[in-house]
Amino acid sequence: MARALSHNSHTKNRSLDMSDSSKAEGPVRVSEIFNSPDADVVVRSADNIDFRLHKKNLECSTGSFPPADTPVDPKETVHLTESGETLEILFHAIYPRPFPEERMKELEFKSFMLLAEAAEKYAVYSMISCVEVLYPTCTLTIEVTAWQLDGYKHALSPKRLRILEFAVNHNHRDLIYEAAVTLG
């Protein structure tokens, strides 16, 4: 079986290379971390990594997956649009295991925002809270674009704008305020 998603093989500020519109071809691999022999649902990432999960964990830890007693064809695979790396981090929040906080801190900004969007999309509330706590560590190195207007120098960070967009889309009042203040 091909080795997939080893959590010890990451480097500082790495990027999750799949976006919501990506479609992978090639062999299907299986997550080393989420490969339960008694799983009752298989979730496949956009880059063909299978996660063997438990419906009960999904039901109890998320607000978007169907209840555990929903009949599912055991041969059916649920295809998601996120990368395997995004889903692997996300799925830590549905099992009783430590959050991959250090791994999350090492993500590049774009990758961190993909994780935040996935947490919101699948209503993984504990991961949403973790993202809210960790988001400042992912924005410490902010690129700033400066320009001159009416004799005043203005600076605008694309990352801060992205955080503001995310916060508005998902009604995170504290993040809206913090992002708006730093834009001002």
pLDDT at 156: 53
Bridge partners (DSSP) listed for residue 53: 41
Q: What are phi and psi of 70, to 5 degrees?
A: -70, 125
pLDDT digits (tens, 9 = 90+) for 52-73: 999 999 999 998 888 888 887 8
The token pair at 138 is: 């992912």
**Does 109 share its domain with 63?**
yes
Q: What are phi and psi of 91, to 5 degrees?
A: -70, -15
Going from the C-alpha of 80 to that of each of 19, 21, 43, 165, the distances in angstroms are 11, 11, 7, 23
The 3-state secondary structure of the chain reads: CCCCCCCCCCCCCECCCCCCCCCCCCCCEEEEEEECCCCCEEEECCCCEEEEECHHHHHHHCCCCCCCCCCCCCCCEEECCCCHHHHHHHHHHHCCCCCCHHHHHCECHHHHHHHHHHHHHCCCHHHHHHHHHHHHHHCCCCCCEEEEECCEEEEECHHHHHHHHHHHHCCCHHHHHHHHHHHC
CA–CA distance, 43 with 31 (Å, rounded to integer): 10
Checking if the pLDDT of 141 tops 80, the result is: no
For residue 156, the enclosing domain spans 139-184
**Does 171 share its domain with 132?**
no
pLDDT at 41: 93
**Does 96 share its domain with 51?**
yes
**Does 76 share its domain with 50?**
yes
Is 5 inside any structural domain? no
Checking if the pLDDT of 11 tops 80, the result is: no
Checking if the pLDDT of 44 tops 60, the result is: yes
Checking if the pLDDT of 22 tops 50, the result is: no
65: domain CATH number is: 3.30.710.10
Can you give the pTM of this predicted structure? 0.69
**Does 41 share its domain with 106?**
yes
**Does 56 share its domain with 143?**
no
The token pair at 34 is: 């989420």
Q: What's the distance, CA 161 to chain centroid? A: 19
CA–CA distance, 9 with 20 (Å, rounded to integer): 23
Q: Which residue did the predictor score with more confidence, 145 or 176?
A: 176
Residue 40, number of CB atoms within 10 A of its CB:
15
